[in-house]
Each structure stands twice: as structure tokens, then as C-alpha cells.
């Protein structure tokens, strides 16, 4: 189970946390923030899962990632106003909200929190690099196989129900994460599920 930032902070009695941290529970499908909102708390997922992304010029959702327990998200205010993102709950969620400046302070001044932040950041960075590699170098079927493998992690919602992240991946999500069209994704999934049928069709 992931170690939560709050557990690390709580060990330091000199850190005042009363007004800087609060808990939030939300129903499935709740929009936690969206453009043009630029100032957000930093959210840490305690239970449940969240989709983060942005909107296309046509107003359609574009998926960046699906996050689960232990992940954090929100605007750290390092991008000079370029932050343009939405966050929406995929299940019932329990979140912990941190004031941005407080979050940055503890992650800079508490060694355990700094290590926690670095581990989370490097993990997300590595995941993004892995997806970029797949987009640039793999065939469609292998791209789909790789992205599905990344979302096999299990998590629980606030009612104790267990899910797998891949259950919440839509065809469009996979298309967004692999740089393909939804039609190509659908075809690739069919080939992965029923390879024998695909081969027979080609022979005919």
C-alpha cells in the first residue's frame, strides 16, 4: 500500500497543518477543476481513481492519465499560467487537499516528504517516457497491448469496492494515450482478442 504524504508530515510536530490540509469526498463523475480555472489545491488520492486531461479545440476531453490511490495532481504553479487541465473522478473518491504553498514547503523541507515527492514525480515521468517511446516506435497492436498493461493496477473506492484502472479506459482514452485514432484502437483490440479470426480473414 502506498505511503500517504499526510503520514510523513504528521511525524513532524513542529509543522502546523490545521488550516493547510482538508479531506474531500466526491461522487463518481465529479469535476474537481477544469479550464479556465488555474489555481487549484494539490490533491492526493486516498481512495478511488481520477482522470486528468485537457480539452481539444472542439471541446472534447483529451486524456492525460488515470490516477489512483497514492497519486497526486493539481497545479503546482511552476508553469507561468500555462496550466490548462481538468480532473474528474472515475469512482467515488476520497481526496486530501493541500494548500499549494504548504505542499511545496513540506516537500522542500521535510526529507521524507521530499523523497516521497521525487519518487512520485520520477514514476510519472518514466511512465510518460514509456508512452512516448511506444507512440514513436511500435505498431498499433503493440501500442495497445503496452498501454493496457500499464493500467492493470487495482484500487478500491470509498465503499470498499475493488476495480482495475483498465476498466475505466475508453477507446478514446487509449487513442489519446497512444497517438492513434479510435478506429485503429478498436481494430487493434479485436486483433489482440481474436488473433485467429483476424488471420483467417487475411487468408481469405
Strand extents, DSSP E, the chain: 21-26, 31-33, 42-47, 50-55, 61-67, 72-73, 86-89, 93-98, 154-156, 162-164
CB 75 within 8 A of CB 54: no
Predicted confidence band of residue 157 (pLDDT cuts 50, 70, 90)? very high
> What pTM value is reported for the model?
0.88
Residue 203 has, within 13 A of its CA and on its CB side, a CA count of 6
Q: What is the CATH number of the domain that holds 24?
A: 2.60.120.10
193: containing domain: 5-203
Calpha distance 56→36 (Å, rounded)? 13
Strand extents, DSSP E, 147-192: 154-156, 162-164
pLDDT digits (tens, 9 = 90+) for 91-119: 999 999 999 999 999 999 999 999 999 99
Q: What is the mean pLDDT of residues 143-172?
A: 94
- Residues of the chain with pLDDT > 70, as a percent, come to 91
Q: What mean pLDDT is reported for the chain? A: 89
Residues making up the chain, counted from first to last: 204
Tally the domains of the chain.
Answer: 1
Calpha distance 163→90 (Å, rounded)? 11
Residue 86 cell numbers, joined = 481538468
pLDDT digits (tens, 9 = 90+) for 66-85: 999 999 999 998 888 788 89
Amino acid at each position: 500500500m502506498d505511503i500517504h504524504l499526510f503520514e510523513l508530515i504528521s511525524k513532524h510536530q513542529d509543522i502546523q497543518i490545521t488550516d493547510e490540509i482538508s479531506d474531500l469526498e466526491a461522487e463518481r463523475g465529479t469535476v474537481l477543476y477544469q479550464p479556465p480555472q488555474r489555481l487549484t489545491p494539490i490533491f492526493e488520492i486516498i481512495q478511488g481513481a481520477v482522470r486528468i486531461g485537457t480539452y481539444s479545440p472542439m471541446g472534447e476531453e483529451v486524456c492525460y492519465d488515470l490516477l489512483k490511490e497514492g497519486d497526486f495532481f493539481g497545479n503546482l504553479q511552476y508553469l507561468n499560467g500555462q496550466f490548462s487541465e481538468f480532473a474528474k473522478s472515475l469512482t467515488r473518491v476520497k481526496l486530501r487537499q493541500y494548500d499549494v504553498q504548504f505542499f511545496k514547503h513540506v516537500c522542500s523541507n521535510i526529507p521524507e516528504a521530499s523523497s516521497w515527492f521525487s519518487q512520485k514525480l520520477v514514476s510519472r515521468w518514466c511512465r510518460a517516457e514509456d508512452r512516448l517511446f511506444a507512440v514513436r516506435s511500435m505498431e498499433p497492436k503493440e501500442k495497445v497491448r503496452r498501454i493496457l498493461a500499464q493500467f492493470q493496477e487495482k484500487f478500491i473506492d470509498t465503499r470498499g469496492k475493488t476495480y482495475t484502472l483498465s476498466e475505466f479506459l475508453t477507446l478514446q482514452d487509449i487513442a489519446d494515450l497512444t497517438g492513434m485514432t479510435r478506429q485503429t484502437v478498436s481494430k487493434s483490440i479485436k486483433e489482440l482478442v481474436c488473433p485467429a479470426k483476424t488471420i483467417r480473414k487475411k487468408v481469405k
